[in-house]
Homo-oligomer: A and B are copies of this chain.
Amino acid sequence: MESSSLGTENPVDKRFRVKRDRMLRAAARCFNLKGYSGTSLKDVADLLGLTDAALYYYVRNKQELVYLCYLRAADVGREAMQRAIREGRDGLDTVQRYLRYHIEYMVGAEGPIAIMSEIPSLKPEHRKQVLELSRKHSAAFEALLERGIADGSIAPCDVRMTGNAIMGSLNWIPKWFHGDPAVAAKIVEEFPRILSAGLAAR
């Protein structure tokens, strides 16, 4: 999940990154549980045993906190996508792997992932960036579908709408999954099949 070679990193910087990452997961948890406006910085801080003001050592403001949560979400999605592409045998298999990996990350140790409900209230530059990442991810998924149609593993379909349908289902998970490991196992077991059941060429 890490980018490039950070093996020989300043230990201070490393601690900073680790703590900030913990903070982002705490924030994601609060946002998913209480909504954005219902989450005060104190809520997030409480989860970390800190005071609200301490958060400002890690982020410039609340908007940036959301922004970083969304970057994390995009990272996780991209990672799952790349791994699936690396390992997939054909279009359908790659789609199924992508779904499995992304879901595993979401409900597993990488999580929680913040539901992207507040993109509009990001500052323009951040919003543009997040939307761009989101757009690219959707495009990558649609490309998987097209690959599957081309290689005959997936029945012809409207890839745009099919992508919207499947990604929507995925995006909604953080809205109802709140960390119960038993439920997590069930999601990982069921969702990839359910979401790809309608795709296979007969």
Bound together, the chains give a CA A66 to CA B173 distance in angstroms of 22
Classify the interface of chain A: helix, strand, loop or mixed: helix
This chain: how many copies in the complex?
A: 2
Residue of B nearest to A138 (CB): B176
Taking A169-B172, A171-B175 as contacts, is the C-beta distance between A194 and B157 under 8 angstroms?
yes
A156 CB within 8 Å of chain B: no
Bound together, the chains give a CA A196 to CA B195 distance in angstroms of 10
User: Chain A, interface size: which category?
Assistant: 35 or more
**Min CB–CB distance A141 → chain B (angstroms):** 14
CB-based contact B169/A166 at 8 Å: yes
Set of chain B residues within 8 Å of A197, measured between Cβ atoms: 197-199
Which residue from B38, B171, B172, B196 sits with its C-beta under 8 Å from A118?
A: B38
Bound together, the chains give a CA A173 to CA B170 distance in angstroms of 12
Bound together, the chains give a CA A17 to CA B175 distance in angstroms of 31
A168 CB within 8 Å of chain B: yes
CB-based contact B35/A121 at 8 Å: yes
A153 CB within 8 Å of chain B: no
